[in-house]
Structure 1
């Protein structure tokens, strides 16, 4: 007798539960139960019914709801959360009932009115990641509702879910003013180091204050027990009046380190204060005085003090093992600090200044590996930006190989070297090994994950690249150089021949950083892949206006792609769009 055929259908599945339900019940069992029952009957169930939702499973603190339309599911979720936000305004926040909601669009098995399968499981896993009061969507839901709902949808990256083999890309619905930036707190101590105030009375000393803050950020990020926001996002608050609670919401951190630096002759005074940004409570404050010759010791003392204040159980030995003294020559270190603003400028003039200052630093201390690594990377990326000198590729590769031999325990130098070896030398296995070691030493580095994204993309591993780029954007959510990661995601989708997604990410990248050449090329290739040739030619015109010396001949010489089939598709798309030979 033939086995009965399983009934299947495509469905939008909404999973919801009450955040902190056990805590609420422990505090006031009868009151919580009564309020939850009232809210379900008077608010939640009518909203679901209006949008065609069918309750599949209802339990004490949550539910699984099936919809025939992804649009209906998202509209219902938003309506529920907006109505819930208006309930019980006089109750303290810790006593209010707040739902987490996750939505997935997928194939389900239907039996006796119940639904089963990965489509349901993924919705439940998404809900578990969502912040209280929020709505998170899978990529399949995002694709179904994009352009149909007037709601801002913010990417949260690729997430690995329990018992789901492939990572799932997710998006957050922005509910109300500022909600798009209200990131959930990580499950480990999280901190942002804000730019320190230069108290020297000399604006020319800003570079020194900024450089020290960058070093303190790097030292903290090497504590694996911490989640540390990248320097680029923290520095968006420079010269701005700061509300630490707003910083907490926008960056998704609990702690903020503020401070000031006064440099007078050979003496330095650093004042720091650590604030619990969720409450405004001052956790720790201290003053550090020393000579310029003690600057690395001062950085270590600040880092140890922060670690000890936030998480006394962390063994300070972890910090001590992470210490590095990049050079014995303070004058060489000062030149390196002066080079950093040019590095972050993403301009031809800024890059030329980095080249000059790192050369000068290396003339003082030829063993200053960090300066050598930055010099190698500047030469390599200058080729991509058409700002290069004739011998840059050869010199960059030589310097990167020297760095790799000298800097086995410096994650920043390893990251620079890995990117040069992947892009300029096409030595993909060495580059992958170097970037993996860099992240092993400092897994909190946003720039490390961006570098890992590009190394993996060049090595023909687009899915791994996408994961790293998303991780970088969570570590640095308001990064002025976010366009580099966005462009990398777009390039990775080009490699996967998912042209609509590539174009979407490329356009986002261009809005963020219109002077980044890769983003222009992603947009051109995405348009060609979709057959939108007239738009592709206009995009090629924008590329050539921004980079008039760029040619297909140069791109053939660069050719950083291990996947030769993709390299040819890439060249062909640029050619048909009108990029000159």
Structure 2
């Protein structure tokens, strides 16, 4: 049996570790420690567990244990700072957190001596526990072999960008590039690499312009999920590679997530694992209605029960509570806010390198605990970890809106919509644009964006309030009053005096403008 993770293969029978197809020199105890981590990857192993398993219970110095753990990390391309594969759990121990696939070792070569015999097909690998993708080398259709390097560079950048999404298992370049120059069957690639999705594409150059096409395919069915074409000039090749890679990665990730949600929906409830519960929760949360959020929250809680260290599930549960607050749905406000703050803090503590956990947890924490500065810092870190995560951009835009940075907020919303133009949360981005333009004094733009968001979710309290305020500020009194009637129906408790309990508006002049518009529309003091 072999254990395959990242770009490594660990073969216990041969006591061999390879990384990027190269053998890694590793000491016997370091090898045993790595194998122990992998075999016990479903739990945190304590220092006492390690001493018993590797040193037979003998007492060894703290520095010896530390040096062996560092040697394990170095051998597999990890480090104490990154902890992508071996994570330190403070005051508890260590856990191997990388995705591992198990495969039978290859049979010995035939002794027939027939060198011309075709190589046997690779054994099918089991799919990892999270969504998985391979990016195949793009075809160079230019008729110019010199352009191969450009096509390869684009693929390498896409692999790098996709790898920033910790929820996505991405096959390393050295494995996917073994298919270069070969006619492939996508289903076979999926079986051989153990992935659910394959991205393939082509590059065509004409004069100083280049056209790149890409298509995302479900490797289990062969069905096409997404296709797009990008064009640009070769004035700055590296800038073009970076831009295309970011656009492709930003577009693909939501498509994979939507496809995974559909898979999770088709599973019988009794067979759901933590990630399935999380995906089902996302599907409900994206709809944004009171009923759908009420269905989402128990699913995230169930995901936490199945995996107490699932940072993103904690973050999404906290975010559901935030959404209840911002729409006036809370029934026990102090209790729910305390629960949301607890979940959000757990999310950002456990998910310090998880962009999704930092995004949702940080945003919920800013709202529920009233700390905009810390929330912005957490969202900025999420963008640093994954610049292609649309939710990190638009939720960071919201926090900047409340902080009084309208122009920066608008840039964040625009970036999110460029990254994911058909996102199921587009109405939230539109709502953010409306509020940012309102604070910037562009009432027509604010009204237009609010109307777009309203068409997608009429029960969004903030959107209805924005419509009422903009109508009130421009003197369209009848329309303002109609919007106010709906606002009062959605939340009868809302008053001018409790606006800051609802939305964390930082600048007094922005609060005054918003309150003035709502007052003119008829909101009581």
TM-score, reference length from structure 2:
0.50
- Tell me which protein shows more strand as a share of its residues: 1
